[in-house]
Chains A and B, each alone.
Chain A
């Protein structure tokens, strides 16, 4: 029983960051319809920015975090303007190939600049964990969970409550009509990609200090982000959040009670099941007719 509580706490902590990864990608993949292979490298980028801000610029941990997120936002905007803007209207395969190229180039760039040896980021949190009864959790991970929750709420508010959010939703429903209504469609595309990228960078900046930072760290994260998006339904923010927690739960319980060797397979078994029985995802949006 004690072990179960520990697994559930682990699930909460892991699920928060999965959710963050998932909503970043669901914005870009689900709403913009761009298969974003650079999502993982933006995650890696956020982690490296955190490392640079803390260790090379000497910034405070809590200042470094927004710096890394803004850096991710900027890189996302650059990718959109340089690579995606000229391809607007191109078919999905062309865009996908360009994004795969960008991913490989950026990952090799990270390897070239920072080398393959993993780096770790110092944090101001105490080493000793918080212990409540049989359950123990590190302060850093608790902070990560809270920060992830805050970012999720902010992203949700941005999309559902602001004018920019309304413009985003309008643009991706029908770009031509939105443009006729006076929406600056170009700006909306760039903003959406930049926001999605900043969320990936935020996940990397939060998880870099928890794990270690190395150029390939984003690969597995990206695969999981795609899984979460499929699980939650394309473009569905709430679905991505719940999908993140479901994936974390499946991994924790799968590793704890079935077999740790198949830990990373557990999530994908669920996805196969979802694709067979409910191919639009667990929480699909109602499709617009006509």
Chain B
């Protein structure tokens, strides 16, 4: 028995060794995304977007003469798992660079691992400000932090004539960070802040929070959550006869999915998004956007996912550009190269600027932010 076990393990070891040798001809990129759990829908979209970019790059001959290979792992929407996945990708798969980890709490959990193994990561979705202000030099973020969203929204608030707002946010780094940054900006603008209510990321019934907000004297509520929870909120708000104006933030709203699932309850809601797949001609890079959308549709994916998947697409293109520039697929070289790239992203140029304490700055790119409205079941630019 013991002998067979030994033989089997030796065989398994040999197989694993051969497999890794066979893959040495590719350049690996680690992907750390939530494919199950509360953020499964969004994480899956990002991965599908990343695959489109990888296929596009490989069809053109790859990077440094080698094909890129995505090593995709599921962080289960759980920060502990996200850190474990990062460790596995770096130590076992030897990926010299990562893409991840969707949620702010997930990304924050991964960050100490990046420092420990000196491996850079491109952050594609997370928006908590502290990701790029806490002095982690291995983080390069292409999504807008909530203070950038708040700053973009600052130019709009006068036209919306906000007087008093409440917040309903997901109870994690993303939601609480948004409430803080938006609250600060609004106070500067002389807008009153009422309640700040939170909800668990797994919660399905927000009626109690909505009933509480319904009873206040504010006219607007700012909501931060991912698409699945937003759909529930709109349905439950409609059931409560909720009349306040709803504005969502965070760029993970997938307005089309909201329209499909919440129906009329989604009408007249406003959404701060970071991509405009509905009007490719208004994006900074129409040609690339059209290519991406047509490829997305060709693969039979749901159009609703575009607002999320473009991040994976841009993330992989950013990483590929850095590897090309570095001239070798090694963590330190890729990290240095990330500072020098200029990629035409689907939502503006991806150029990293220094953010955070001097000496250990993180990279932050500044994409565009748009305000769209759902009107009669369609997504339109909000006329201001």
Chain A residues in the interface with B (C-beta under 8 A): 2-3, 6-7, 10, 14, 111, 115-118, 120, 127-129, 131, 136-138, 140-141, 210-212, 214-217, 219-220, 251-252, 254-256, 259-261, 263-264
Residue of A nearest to B35 (CB): A116
Q: Which B residues are CB-close (under 8 A) to A251?
A: 208
Complex contact B228–A214 (CB within 8 A): yes
| B-side interface residues, number (CB < 8 Å) | 38
State how many angstroms separate the Cβ of A286 from the closest Cβ of chain B.
35
Q: Which of B115-123, B142-150, B234-242, B277-285 contacts A (4 or more CB under 8 A)?
A: B234-242
Q: Which A residues are CB-close (under 8 A) to B263?
A: 127
Complex contact A212–B261 (CB within 8 A): yes
B199 at interface (Cβ–Cβ under 8 A)? yes
Q: Which A residues are CB-close (under 8 A) to B265?
A: 127
Complex contact B211–A6 (CB within 8 A): yes
State how many angstroms separate the Cβ of A54 from the closest Cβ of chain B.
14
Listed A/B pairs (20) with beta-carbon separation below 8 Å:
A3-B211, A3-B212, A6-B214, A7-B208, A117-B41, A120-B231, A120-B260, A127-B263, A128-B238, A129-B240, A131-B241, A138-B239, A214-B40, A216-B36, A216-B40, A219-B202, A251-B208, A261-B199, A263-B203, A263-B209
Interface string of B31-53 (1 = CB under 8 A from A): 00001111011011000000000
A11→B35 CA distance, assembly (Å):
33
Q: Which B residues are CB-close (under 8 A) to A14?
A: 205, 207
Complex contact B211–A10 (CB within 8 A): yes
Known pairs A138-B239, A260-B208 / 15 extra A-B pairs, C-beta < 8 Å: A3-B214, A10-B207, A10-B208, A116-B41, A116-B44, A118-B41, A128-B238, A141-B239, A212-B261, A216-B36, A220-B204, A252-B208, A254-B208, A256-B211, A261-B199
Contact residue among A6, A7, A115, A264 (Cβ-Cβ distance under 8 Å from B200): A264
Q: Which B residues are CB-close (under 8 A) to A6?
A: 211, 214-215, 240
Closest 7 CB pairs of A and B: A116-B40, A138-B239, A255-B208, A136-B241, A120-B261, A261-B198, A117-B41
Interface string of B12-37 (1 = CB under 8 A from A): 00000000000000000000000111
Contact status of A256 and B232, CB under 8 A, knowing A117-B44, A131-B241, A136-B240: no
Complex contact B204–A217 (CB within 8 A): yes
B181 at interface (Cβ–Cβ under 8 A)? no
Residue of B nearest to A11 (CB): B208
Contact status of A256 and B212, CB under 8 A, knowing A116-B40, A118-B231: yes
Complex contact B228–A118 (CB within 8 A): yes
Complex contact A212–B197 (CB within 8 A): no
A3→B209 CA distance, assembly (Å):
11
Complex contact B36–A215 (CB within 8 A): yes
Q: Which A residues are CB-close (under 8 A) to B185?
A: none
Interface centre among B38, B44, B205 (most CB of A within 10 A): B205
B293 at interface (Cβ–Cβ under 8 A)? no
A14→B38 CA distance, assembly (Å):
21
Complex contact A7–B211 (CB within 8 A): yes
Interface hits, B210-230 → A, CB 8 Å: 211-212, 214-215, 228
